[in-house]
Structure 1
Amino acid sequence: MSYQALYRVWRPQRFDEIVGQQVITQTLKNALITGQTSHAYLFTGPRGTGKTSAAKIFAKAVNCHHLKDGEPCNECATCKAITQGRLNDVIEIDAASNNGVEEIRDIRDKAKYAPTEADYKVYIIDEVHMLSTGAFNALLKTLEEPPANVVFILATTEPQKIPLTIISRTQRFDFRRISTKDSFDRMVYILGQKKITYDEKALMVIAKAAEGGMRDALSILDQALSFGDNEITLKNALQVTGSVNHDLLNKYVAEISDQQVSAALETLEKVLAEGKDANRFIEDLINFCRNLLLYQQDPTLIVDQELGDVDDQFKTFAASLSAERIYKMIDHLNNTQQQMRFTTHPDVYMEVLTIKLAQPTTPATNSGAEKAPVKQAKKPVTDSAEVTRLEDQVKKLADQVKQLESQKSTGASKPTNNINRSNGPKKHGRQVKPNLSKIYPVLENATKKNLVQLKEIWPDLMSMLSVTQRALMHVAQPVAASEKGAVIAFNYAFLYEQAADDGDLRQLLSDDIDKLVGHDLKIAYVDADQWPEIRQGYIQQHKADLQSNNENATSDVEEPPAESEQGTDGDLQESKDPLVTKAEALFGSETVEIKDD
């Protein structure tokens, strides 16, 4: 037989083998022992925490005739058939690829028939949050009044996307992230059974890199075994996970805490030269700073979480670095991590980050000026040539960052008031102009009610798109809507240009909206930076019509009370301009700002 991955070979077959979920497994076993099983369950939690495994074990246990202490025997014909996936009465469905109404209606129709071999027919629906709104509605009645001898088990990583009407008809179990210690102990047990030598520090690195997922831990362990020729060493684990050597990490933190910019840059260059991932390095630094903060508050907590791996240098950092300094370090790390998502030069950002982390945190005040000589006296600078070299290096790095940012910015060379984006430098060789012939008809009949309705179905609409289309529309949101059309604003100009050229996406959005609300909408795109100008331009061009419509609409309304009857506060019962009234009706009062010229 061909080689199988560790997470498949060592997949739990009993409740007791599920790692880190003792409360959930004990509850399910008690329900099986007392015969108080429900007709529908909802298993939620991060990936690789045992949701699907628990569902399959429950399917075996509820159909096993030799149940012992709530555990399936795994020896009878029914248990073996479920384990091998041969029993027709246990149906596992991937909702990511079967998310339509027709698939759920087929399940609903077949659920009416009695099981053929087992006592219960069990439906395991994985990634159930991917179902469409119509599919959830088709499933709702079956969950409310299920046929006899049918059990539904729904599994998901995103429970917030599931309608509350579905959740209220199920028993919900929240699977938590598996602790580092539990993952470590499980890997020790598996390697002991396979009689493979290992380094405990290597297993600790793998357990931390798995971030609470047992399946991820076993996948990384499998990769490390292949890389190290059936031997687990610390070097191999660091290479596979992309983590930084503990000594190198301590050296880097020591240099930035002592404000040794040049030495810290050299250490960074060594880290990147070893092929370490820059994002992974930032993750390690954030985790290191988090451990320092927790150790300052409760040392025993970190000792337990890190499996006793707290050395003397770590204790020195915890004693010397103030909490405020660590807070600022985490802020710099988090900001750089966000910026690096869209760059092709992570090394430049890492170098700038190193300089920021090594900068002194004393504010530029009188008291700070008094303390500055003390700082300098601790570590005097005697080499003026070194200072000049570092200043040149900082300037060069700053110029590189500005050059990278200028490639993404579209502003004009000199800021002016009321500047039009179309006059600025173009991105990607051109700039798409907004199609006002499509936008203005929407604004003419737009209402806040239609906009709110579109925003409510927006998450469902995104889930119906493909992964590529969803990535494109992730930074877009509706800003105006009427009964027949909608205006979608993009936060980034280059994505707006890409969407403007994608006619298939526009048609797909219109068709999907038709499925959700019963009628299609004509979609118009706009750049988010251009939207305020377009909105203001429409109001100014239609000023006369808006004033006329407002006068007609208010001709039969009673006169406002006299000034003496009004409150003295400046914000009470002040008459509004017709343009303001119409703008608030179109876009909502919370988005309209009134300025006096």
Structure 2
Amino acid sequence: MSYQALYRVWRPQKFSELVGQEMVTKTLRHALMTHQTTHAYLFTGPRGTGKTSAAKIFAKAINCHQQTDGEPCNECELCQAITAGRLNDVIEIDAASNNGVEEIRDIRDKAKYAPTVADYKVYIIDEVHMLSTGAFNALLKTLEEPPANVVFILATTEPHKIPATIISRTQRFDFRRITPQDILGRMEYILKQKEVSYDDSALKVIAKAAEGGMRDALSILDQVISFGEDGQVTFDNALLVTGTVTRQKLTAYLKQVFAQDTSAALETIHTIVNEGKDAKRLIEDLIGYCRDLLLYKQAPKLVEESELGLLDADFKEFAQKIDSQVLYQAINILNEQQENMRYTSHETVYLEVLTIKLSQSVSQGQAKAPVATENSADHEEVVRLAKQVAQLQEQLQTLSQAGPKQVSAPAKRPRPSQASSGQFKVNLNQLLPILNKAKKENLLQLREVWGDLLNMLNPAQRAMLRSFEPAAASDDGLILKGAYPYLCQRAQSSQELQDAIGNGLSRLLPQAPSLHFVPKENWQEIRQEFYRQNQPQTEEKAPKKEEVAPIVLTAQKLFGKENVEIKAD
């Protein structure tokens, strides 16, 4: 085959060519320049962010005798042999297909021998999280007592699956998702070198669809070039290849849904599907669009930067008018429908049901109209205060009718479990036992390892958990409070997230506690309810004295025992 994919042809050959990983490349270069390299490294991060490329560049730089500022020369015989994959002293292993104990033992035995040509023998183990437990144990022995002139570079997309004993014996580098701006700049550079004409808007669509992976971006770009006539990169071809729906159509669809024009919204859905758009991709685009609308109301500049200037005036006007509560409901419904569509072959039916659900949620939900007035928040606050005033007036009238001698007990406050926060309900029966056993030591211990726990999660899980903070902890239970009720609902219902957190805590703490999520707005009520339930117990412990106080005896002698009534304060 004479043709090679773009991501292979334009694979980085120097640290300076690695896009979006400045912290990693700067650290590795300084270690090479000062000869402070170690025997084992762990490269973690999403797919297509440069982990394996960085490992090969490091293997060249550590063996290159003509390196400059930590960069390999790429001209000497060693550098060219490593680039071509011909050097026997640089061994690249795929742990997905070589994950047994025997393969790792073979590596351990061969690592004892000195390198044949290069100064260092470098083992690059890709997808190392696929190794079995026995293989990890075999690798651990080698990392504990590493042979001279041997370097191990472990690469993985799921660091939380690697034992802590392995992680502690390596230098860890976290590769970040590459920003759309960096991906866009790299694609522009490649196309200019290839002398291929392109539309700026097409590259922006590809940069967004890549979701932070440079390899994914170059693969999509390769498809668009092959799809277009004369190898041109056009906006329409980029939409067709990525399956992305234009913002104009997303805006029109959501406007129809929020205006309860269900028939028009169904027609729009059928038009999008008939154009060949993927239904699952459409759901992702709708979720991302609602997210942009929500964020634009609070941080317009942040959304404009992430969308690479693709926001039009119609979007900005729509974002200002739409109510946040409507967007919360829409995101919840879209997430639920996305889960339902994972294993179905009738995707169009689910899209039709989704359209009807979204239309009905606007009419039946908390938001009565799709477009909020300028003073909607103030109006809701006035309505809430008016209800409280009415309740206080009713209680005052009841007290005045009862008279001074018959004062009824104040009405009990509703428990937090009876009050819903959006679609999330707090279960006090699960929380109160944790609060009864909660210790400050457990909470402090959890906060100390909180940062390590976040690093063990994948980017999506880490982003979800960053909106929570530890509120209370016991030996067998943990309460996390979050800013938004709908995020608490998502976290509580996501078994994958809870398994990942439990797996991480089992490595950082003596035992993994059960997880419970509560909104911040309910946390104060939960604590008050906890104190209210415990208060009667402390009062009942007080000994009840049957003897009569001296002042009471004096009063009974002066006025007669039948005329003296004893009342508790």
Aligned equivalent of 2:362: 361
Distance across 1 between alignment mates of 2:216 and 2:365 = 47
Aligned equivalent of 1:256: 257
Distance across 1 between alignment mates of 2:363 and 2:344 = 31
Q: How big is each residue's C-alpha offset from its partner over 1:147-186, in whole Å with a ceiling of 9 and x where there is no partner?
A: 1100000000111110000000000001111111111111
Aligned equivalent of 1:347: 348
C-alpha deviation, 1:316, in angstroms: 1.2
SS of the residue corresponding to residue 12 of structure 1 reads coil
1:136-535 alignment to 2 at 5 Å? 136-229=136-229, 230-359=231-360, 361=362, 363=364
SS of the residue corresponding to residue 280 of structure 1 reads helix
Distance across 1 between alignment mates of 2:106 and 2:260 = 66
C-alpha deviation, 1:246, in angstroms: 2.6
Distance across 1 between alignment mates of 2:260 and 2:187 = 40
Distance across 2 between alignment mates of 1:360 and 1:35 = 63
C-alpha deviation, 1:326, in angstroms: 0.5
Q: How big is each residue's C-alpha offset from its partner over 1:319-349, in whole Å with a ceiling of 9 and x where there is no partner?
A: 1111111111111111111101122211111
Asked if the contact 2:258/2:362 (under 8 Å) is kept, the reply is no
C-alpha deviation, 1:364, in angstroms: 7.5
Asked if the contact 2:40/2:152 (under 8 Å) is kept, the reply is yes
Asked if the contact 1:224/1:236 (under 8 Å) is kept, the reply is yes
1:61-100 alignment to 2 at 5 Å? 61-100=61-100
Aligned equivalent of 2:3: 3
User: Does 2:69 correspond to 1:57?
Assistant: no
Distance across 2 between alignment mates of 1:35 and 1:215 = 31
The gaps in structure 2 that reach 5 residues or longer are 374-536, 539-569
Asked if the contact 2:7/2:219 (under 8 Å) is kept, the reply is yes
Q: How big is each residue's C-alpha offset from its partner over 1:61-96, in whole Å with a ceiling of 9 and x where there is no partner?
A: 000001111110000000000000000100000011
Distance across 1 between alignment mates of 2:103 and 2:184 = 41
SS of the residue corresponding to residue 193 of structure 1 reads helix
C-alpha deviation, 1:356, in angstroms: 1.6
SS of the residue corresponding to residue 276 of structure 2 reads coil
Aligned equivalent of 2:467: none
Distance across 2 between alignment mates of 1:55 and 1:364 = 53
C-alpha deviation, 1:261, in angstroms: 1.1
Distance across 1 between alignment mates of 2:30 and 2:221 = 34
Distance across 1 between alignment mates of 2:293 and 2:73 = 47
Distance across 2 between alignment mates of 1:251 and 1:8 = 40
Q: What's the C-alpha RMSD, in Å, of the aligned pairs?
A: 2.0
Aligned equivalent of 1:16: 16
Q: How big is each residue's C-alpha offset from its partner over 1:43-77, in whole Å with a ceiling of 9 and x where there is no partner?
A: 00111000000000000000000111111000000
Comparing 338-347 with 2-11, which one deviates more in the overlay?
338-347
Decide whether aligned partners of structure 1 residues 29 and 126 sit closer, same or farther in structure 2, where only a CA change above 3 A counts: same
Distance across 1 between alignment mates of 2:275 and 2:29 = 49
Distance across 1 between alignment mates of 2:361 and 2:340 = 23
C-alpha deviation, 1:363, in angstroms: 4.9
C-alpha deviation, 1:101, in angstroms: 0.6
Asked if the contact 2:329/2:361 (under 8 Å) is kept, the reply is no
The amino acid of 1:7's aligned partner reads Y
What is the TM-score when the length of structure 2 is the normalising length?
A: 0.64
Asked if the contact 2:44/2:173 (under 8 Å) is kept, the reply is yes
Asked if the contact 1:259/1:360 (under 8 Å) is kept, the reply is no
SS of the residue corresponding to residue 92 of structure 1 reads strand
Distance across 1 between alignment mates of 2:111 and 2:239 = 50
1:106-121 alignment to 2 at 5 Å? 106-121=106-121
Distance across 1 between alignment mates of 2:309 and 2:343 = 38
Say how many residue pairs are matched.
374
Distance across 1 between alignment mates of 2:346 and 2:93 = 42
Larger RCO (alpha carbons 8 Å, 6+ apart)? 2
SS of the residue corresponding to residue 341 of structure 1 reads coil
The amino acid of 2:88's aligned partner reads N
Distance across 2 between alignment mates of 1:165 and 1:40 = 13
The amino acid of 1:335's aligned partner reads E
The amino acid of 2:27's aligned partner reads T
The amino acid of 1:36's aligned partner reads Q
C-alpha deviation, 1:257, in angstroms: 2.4
Distance across 1 between alignment mates of 2:314 and 2:44 = 40
Distance across 1 between alignment mates of 2:77 and 2:163 = 38
Aligned equivalent of 1:126: 126
Aligned equivalent of 1:563: none
Aligned equivalent of 1:458: none
Distance across 1 between alignment mates of 2:345 and 2:141 = 51
The amino acid of 1:270's aligned partner reads T
SS of the residue corresponding to residue 359 of structure 1 reads helix
SS of the residue corresponding to residue 165 of structure 2 reads helix
Distance across 2 between alignment mates of 1:17 and 1:276 = 35
The amino acid of 1:222's aligned partner reads D
C-alpha deviation, 1:292, in angstroms: 1.0
Identity rate, percent: 68
Q: How big is each residue's C-alpha offset from its partner over 1:550-570, in whole Å with a ceiling of 9 and x where there is no partner?
A: xxxxxxxxxxxxxxxxxx99x
